[in-house]
Amino acid sequence: MQKRKLGTCGLDVSAIGLGCMSLSNVYGTTVDKATAISLLRSAFDNGVTFFDTAEAYGPFTNEKIVGESLAPIRDKVEIATKFGFDIDLNTGERRGGVNSRPEHIKAVAEASLKRLGIDTIDLLYQHRVDPAVPIEDVAGAVKELIKEGKVKYFGLSEAGAQTIRRAHAVQPVTAVQSEYSLWWREPEVEILPTLRELGIGFVPFSPLGAGFLAGKIDVNTKFESSDFRTKVPRFSPEAMKANMALVDLVSDVAARKKATPAQIALAWLLAQEPWIVPIPGTTKLQRLQENLGAVSVELTAEDLHEIDTAESKITLQGTRLPESALKMTGL
């Protein structure tokens, strides 16, 4: 597995990481603990050294599984987790909204360290921007955690360009996480130019469009009632019917390159910048190995131009998140 540098602060990770959120029932299907642990350790055996979790996934259960799975190889991996939602640290009750008060950040970090069974969090993200707390105060709280040795690097998730700049002025931001894929290219407008200027890495989540770009989903797909995609506008039957044109495009390129659509979607991301590290998630070993195969797929400048030209003629439909969730992003 190739390595990449996330930002200029010294964080080296595998070119493709593993998003662990899917192990916590967001896609309807649950996996048992033994299967989850096996998958995470197989990811490492296949070259993955970058694992992404959060207190909100579960809540809490995801961090515990990640910590237990990676304990034997702790010194060989980088673990990213997140704070920022308003969750009762004793009961795990979601109280709604966000909470990035400095005292809460520190309490969440302490709790995450215990659940993960580690002494230092490699990368600590603010999960969502808290409009009630100045980002300078947030960055200052993480800066103190870094000085105390409890955190190595600071990250932001779903933050706007000005928020990134303000935070970076207080504590250097190592990585920004947000959705980015052939299905959602909005970060190209402001976020990527800002990160390029400041020397910050980028970690795209949902790099396969929550599975859509892998070509395994169509208008006939039935999601389980607990699957978050049942609430996402771009997964409505009407939107998917229109958006299948993008899947067809990716599939055509995949056939020519003797790759899978998922590998083309990931290879496209890797080709955008050397400091981009996508974190596709899965619960299946076969899909994990397929995704990691994207590092061996080379897209030439001609390939990338062809994809851009063809995609510019496609009108994509449906927002990437429900309205209530969009309001919680800083974009």
What pLDDT was estimated at residue 326? 81
> Which parts of the chain sit beneath pLDDT 70?
25, 27-28, 331
What pLDDT was estimated at residue 62? 96
In terms of Cα–Cα distance, which of 246, 273, 251 is closest to 262? 251
Q: Are 13 and 77 in contact (CB under 8 A)?
A: no
Residue 147, CA atoms < 13 Å, CB-side half-sphere? 8
Catalytic residue among 57, 125, 153, 180: 57
* Domain definitions of the chain by residue range: 3-326
pLDDT single digits (tens) 150-196: 999 999 999 999 999 999 999 999 999 999 999 999 999 999 999 99
Q: Rounded distance, CA 63 to CA 318, Å?
A: 32
What CATH number does domain 3-326 carry, 2.70.70.10, 3.30.70.20, 3.30.300.130, 3.20.20.100? 3.20.20.100
* Exposure letters 240-267 (e unless 16+ CB within 10 A, then b): bebbbebbebbbebbeebebbbbbbbbb
What pLDDT was estimated at residue 28? 66
- 57 is annotated as an active-site residue: yes
